A and B are shown apart, each in its own frame.
Chain A
Amino acid sequence: MEWLERNVPKLVLAPSFVAILIFVYGFIAWTAWVSLTRSKLMPRYELDGFGQYTRLFASPRWDVAMNNLYIFGALFIIISMLIGLMLAIFLDQKIRAEGVLRTIYLYPMALSLIVTGTAWKWILNPGLGIQEMVRGWGFESFAFDWLIRPEMAIYTIVIAAVWQASGFVMALFLAGLRSVDTEIIRAAQVDGIPTRRIYSAIIIPTMAPIFLSAFIVLAHLAIKAFDLVIALTNGGPGYATDLPATYMYAMAFSRGDLGQAAASAMIMMMVIFAIVVPYLYSELRPRRDQ
């Protein structure tokens, strides 16, 4: 009885412990193992070295997916950060109706990416969307058909993703701006330092951790991007807008190539960990002020 009393906390954690051990770490191990075998339609468990990875890196489709990830990831992160920072600074100028504007900027984050993709697919479709509308205004030769052009379609995904996430970055930055010590700002104002300098020399540098957080969250969203691509372009035209996540899904569930699916999933995980692990490490390190 006393033993039970003493061990209640551990017993409470035990189911989660077992679940995490099996369904996170065990499953990662399974995927890692399969990525080192010759599994095709069914998993095979005889190790076969790095053949799957060699095949993966030689695959033109994976090449497209990784290239798209670089383009999409870089543009998505940079544009979202710029818009988010700008909106946060502007909203921080004692704006009337700040609450309403904030609510409007952030609502896309509550939507499913499938909904977002469906909406933008309609807006961007050349037949009846923006292109047709502008042509209707008299600009007969106006063209905005990125959605169906293989070399441009990836940018439509950037547009929709920025629309979805930039308001969230705004919220992060606004919280950061508001947490800067007002004493310092007031002192600077008393000294007659112009607002622009106050932002560039005092406020923004103190927000470095928030830039890092925003970067981590956006990078994480970019690497996992799946729903939006499926809804907006379904990876097309052809496989022009494939991303690692859609490549992995295609291999696992429609091509029946488990080895390739496992290898691509492992690469995705390594990319994420390369970004997240240093961050988590710095977050978890015991701090002096705690």
Chain B
Amino acid sequence: MTSNTTILRWGLYGILILFALFYLLPLFVMLTTSLKSLEEIRTGSLLALPRGLTFQPWIEAWSSACAGTQCEGLRPFFWNSVLMAVPAVMISTIVGALNGYVFAQWRFPGANLFFAAILFGCFIPFQVVLMPMARMLGLMGLAGTIPGLIFVHVIYGIGFTTLFFRNYYVTIPQELVRAAKVDGAGFFRIFWSIFLPISLPIITVSVIWQFTQIWNDFLFGVSFSGPGSQPVTVALNNIVNSTTGVKAYNVDMAAAIIAALPTLLVYVVAGKYFIRGLTAGSVKG
């Protein structure tokens, strides 16, 4: 009996580790490939460790790889993504916090209907707004610009951020707000001194969720950016599909890792909050 359960436990660990290897495989292959010379890639095996370490592919991926006709590496696009993501994350989180605060604590007739309308908006396939948004950005003079992308990400991000904050604030007893009102505190005062101080966890969730979404976005990036405003995901795809010169797989892999690093870093540092964001929309109660 005991030996039976021991075998079972070994099997259990075996399967769990096998899957861990499956999930790690692409990262391992990306990393090792990015450190090999093209010569070694051509003659060696996919899973082999690099024999002679070279960092040249990383340097090229960062500063000289060609995305289409532009050969400046990922660097300018990486900064485009930063310039796009930081304001978009901040604005959508602030708007979401205030919206969620109203929906949770300052209900008014029709608020529920509006909340449902917002929730509904979280689920639409963006294809359905792509064309009118392209025209609208043109009319607003924001076509192909980073502010245009910020605008789009804020608009389609506030659904989720509102949901996060609303579900968080709804657990706070309404008596608290009522008591504060009796004491003469107003809307913003109550938000500032009661709600904001306890909001750090949900702000973290919202910031991480929005950052991951916006950094990883490709659809809006490819539809609404111009040559000077492409985010890093679009540039990565262009580098990989660039047809000029020899196919530099090692540079492609280095570029892919560079593009993935910020969100990967966020995941490693604050994985708990990342998971909360992921599950917030789907598991409730």
Report which A residues bind B (CB closer than 8 A).
5, 8-10, 12-13, 15-17, 19-20, 23-28, 30-31, 34, 43, 83, 86-87, 90-91, 93, 95, 101, 103-116, 118-123, 128-130, 132-133, 136, 163, 167-168, 171-172, 175-176, 210, 213-214, 216-217, 220, 223-224, 226-227, 230-231, 234, 244-245, 248-249, 252-253, 258, 261-262, 264-266, 268-269, 272-273, 276, 280, 283-284
Q: Is the CB of B259 within 8 A of A234?
A: no
- Decide if A27 touches B128 in the complex (CB within 8 Å): yes
Q: Which 4 A-B pairs have the closest CB atoms?
A: A112-B216, A9-B106, A110-B267, A213-B282
In the complex, the answer to whether A110 meets B218 with C-beta atoms within 8 Å is: no
Q: For residues 102 through 150 of chain B, which have their beta carbon under 8 Å from a beta carbon of chain A?
A: 102, 106, 108, 111, 114, 116-121, 123-133, 135-136
A93 to B15, CA, bound (A): 13
Contact of A122 among B24, B29, B155, B264 (CB under 8 A): B29
Of B65-73, B192-200, B271-279, the one with at least 4 CB within 8 A of chain A: B271-279
8 extra A-B contacts, CB within 8 A, seeds A8-B187, A106-B271, A269-B124: A24-B117, A31-B132, A108-B26, A112-B215, A118-B240, A167-B23, A224-B125, A231-B237
A276 — nearest CB in chain B belongs to which residue? B123
Chain B residues with Cβ below 8 Å from A231 are 237, 240
Q: Shortest beta-carbon distance, A33 to chain B, in Å?
A: 10
B241 within 8 Å of A by Cβ?
Answer: yes
Q: Are A9 and B19 in contact (CB under 8 A)?
A: no
* A190 to B102 alpha-carbon distance, docked (Å): 49
A258 B33 Cβ-Cβ under 8 A: no
CA distance in complex: A23, B139 (Å): 14
CB distance from B196 to the nearest CB of A (A): 14
B252 within 8 A of A: yes
Q: Answer whether A172 and B283 are a contact pair too, CB < 8 Å, given A119-B253, A128-B41, A163-B23.
A: yes
By a beta-carbon cutoff of 8 Å, the part of chain B in contact with chain A is: 12-13, 15-16, 19-20, 22-27, 29-30, 33, 41-42, 45-47, 95, 98-99, 101-102, 106, 108, 111, 114, 116-121, 123-133, 135-136, 155-156, 158-159, 162, 186-188, 212, 215-219, 222-223, 233, 236-237, 240-241, 249, 252-253, 255-257, 259-260, 263-264, 266-268, 271, 274-275, 278-279, 281-284
A213–B45 CA distance with the chains assembled, in angstroms: 41
Question: Which interface residue of A23, A43, A90 has the most chain B CB atoms within 10 A?
Answer: A23
With A20-B121, A172-B282, A224-B126 as contacts: A129 and B260 at CB distance below 8 Å: no
Tell me the complex Cα distance, A115–B252, Å.
Answer: 10
